Amino acid sequence: MKEKELIPHLFKTEYRKIISVLCKLFGIVHIEIAEDIANDTFLLATETWGLKGVPDDPTAWLYTVAKNKTRDHFKRTKIFTDKVSVALKDAQAASYELELDLSEENINDSQLKMLFAVCNPINSNESQIALALRILCGFGVEEIANALLSSKDTINKRLYRAKSTLRENNIDLSFPSSAELENRLDNVLSILYLLFNEGYYSSTASNTISKELCLEAMRLLYILTENENTNVPSANALMALFCFHSSRFEARFDQTGQQVLYEDQDKTKWDPELIDKGEYYLNLSAKGKPISKYHLEAGIAFWHTRIEMPEKDKWINILQLYNRLLQIEYSPITALNRTYALAMAESKETALKQALKIDLKQNHLYQSLLAELYNGIDPAKHIHHLDLAIKLAKNENDKLFLKDKLAKARG
């Protein structure tokens, strides 16, 4: 890997580790100092490697520099004198013995605790996602702004407020107690679910799918599944869902970037390894009694990967899972998706009766579904709802896709 590609790659993989370990050592109250040390480490790498070449072990080089910069910083600050040396009991020895533990075990533990701190519900969902992308995924402010369809100024303000809130409320990096773990873990899973969905489908981004966001959500979730305290059925169910969805990445768009509907996708482009991995996690998720919405959504995604069984049987299974999902957690979008499954399992006429009861008239997906249901039943209404869908769509790729369907309908 070339130097200009190596440093951005290492920033994505090692920045979060250094930050997490620093915050575990000195507290999240000093998160901005941790960021400064990590940023300075990579700045020095850029300058030094450009002149002297890349070292034999770039990661070890980064860790050594980070350790040295940490020692140097806290030797000369009041924070070190008042906080760290007191905690270490021996101020004289502390100034020489302070050590940044970048062992694999401590890195994993630090990242897990940082994940719970960053995904603290004391901040809004939007702020939690932005902070997770910055601290735990190594995204730059501009990258976050592009991913979340916002401005750099807005993201900077959001990050500043989120970090200030964590500091002001003295949020620490201790692992949640047994009593509060379930609720805290539910929130973390919810944020990772939102992060993945932001990448998998954005209603306004010109690039409808962003693999990087999805893969980062999967990486963070993997940290949870690797820890015995957080390796719970709902986490495995969510990982199964991510794997099943990710298996169809390459088939969702054609060579021109146009969306390809599920039924028209080239099944040979589906990733069998990810499908197998999804089944593995789905089986693990079945070991517990509680059934979460992630179990049901993973089950729906699982049946979407079944290409060897009769279509009607597949859609009957999907419909049954949607029925259970709506009982657990109702949402208009879930009801909309169930309506399509109903059309495939029974008939368009039956699905239309249900679809007209859903209050999503200002949603382009709703209008697009109505157009599909009227196709072959009422050509005028088919065209009418396609036209409405085009007007409501914010994503340029969606507009082009719908315009193509409208042209064919009129032709």
Which of 67, 102, 137 is the last residue before a domain boundary? 102
Residue 95 reports pLDDT greater than 50: no
Task: Report the pLDDT averaged over residues 268-273.
Answer: 95
Domain that includes residue 93, residue range: 24-102
Tell me the residue type at 91.
Answer: A
Residue 222 reports pLDDT greater than 80: yes
Which of 64, 81, 102 is the last residue before a domain boundary? 102
User: Does residue 310 lie in a domain region?
Assistant: no
Half-sphere exposure of 16 (CA within 13 A, CB side): 26
- pLDDT digits over 349-406, tens only? 999 999 999 999 999 999 999 999 999 999 999 999 999 999 999 878 788 889 999 9
Q: Lowest mean pLDDT of 86-100, 192-206, 251-265, name the range.
A: 86-100
Where is 401: in which H helix or E strand? helix 396-410
Written as six digits, the tokens of 344 are 């495939």
What's the rounded Cα separation, in Å, for the pair 317 and 332? 20
Q: Hey, what's the torsion of the CAs at 23, 28, 33, 39, to 10 degrees?
A: 60
Q: Hey, what's the torsion of the CAs at 33, 121, 237, 301, to 10 degrees?
A: -100
Task: Report the pLDDT averaged over residues 181-196.
Answer: 92
Residue 96 reports pLDDT greater than 50: no
Share of the chain above pLDDT 90, in %: 64
- Average pLDDT of every residue of the chain: 89
- pLDDT digits over 18-62, tens only? 999 999 988 888 898 999 999 999 999 999 998 899 999 999 999
Bridge partner residues of 259 (DSSP): 253
User: Does residue 382 lie in a domain region?
Assistant: yes
Which pLDDT score is estimated for 178?
Answer: 86
Task: Report the pLDDT averaged over residues 288-301.
Answer: 92
Which pLDDT score is estimated for 246?
Answer: 95
What's the rounded Cα separation, in Å, for the pair 388 and 364? 7
What's the rounded Cα separation, in Å, for the pair 344 and 186? 33
Which pLDDT score is estimated for 254?
Answer: 81
Q: State the helix-helix crossing angle for 3-26 and 58-75, rounded to 10 degrees.
A: 40
Which of 102, 120, 138 is the last residue before a domain boundary? 102
Task: Give residue 92's pLDDT band: very low, low, confident or very high (50, 70, 90).
Answer: very low
User: Does residue 373 lie in a domain region?
Assistant: yes
Task: Report the pLDDT averaged over residues 236-258.
Answer: 91
What's the rounded Cα separation, in Å, for the pair 377 and 348? 9
User: Does residue 300 lie in a domain region?
Assistant: no
What's the rounded Cα separation, in Å, for the pair 336 and 342? 10
What's the rounded Cα separation, in Å, for the pair 149 and 204? 8
**Which of 289 and 313 is assigned the larger pLDDT?**
313
Which pLDDT score is estimated for 94?
Answer: 45
Backbone torsions φ then ψ of 259, nearest 5 degrees: -65, 140
User: Does residue 205 lie in a domain region?
Assistant: no
Task: Give residue 85's pLDDT band: very low, low, confident or very high (50, 70, 90).
Answer: low
User: Does residue 375 lie in a domain region?
Assistant: yes
> What is the residue whose two structure tokens read 């990579």?
42
User: Per the structure, how many domains does the chain have?
Assistant: 2
Nearest of 62, 48, 51, 47 to residue 9 by alpha carbon: 62
User: Does residue 97 lie in a domain region?
Assistant: yes
Task: Give residue 205's pLDDT band: very low, low, confident or very high (50, 70, 90).
Answer: low
Q: Please answer whether residues 17 and 220 qualify as being in contact, where contact means their C-beta atoms are separated by less than 8 angstroms.
A: no
Residue 172 reports pLDDT greater than 90: no
Task: Report the pLDDT averaged over residues 288-293.
Answer: 86
Which pLDDT score is estimated for 202?
Answer: 62
What's the rounded Cα separation, in Å, for the pair 321 and 408? 34
User: Does residue 241 lie in a domain region?
Assistant: no
Residue 211 reports pLDDT greater than 50: yes
Residue 303 reports pLDDT greater than 80: yes
- pLDDT digits over 3-14, tens only? 677 988 899 889
Which pLDDT score is estimated for 164?
Answer: 94
Taking only Cα atoms into account, the Rg of the chain, rounded to an integer number of angstroms, comes to 25
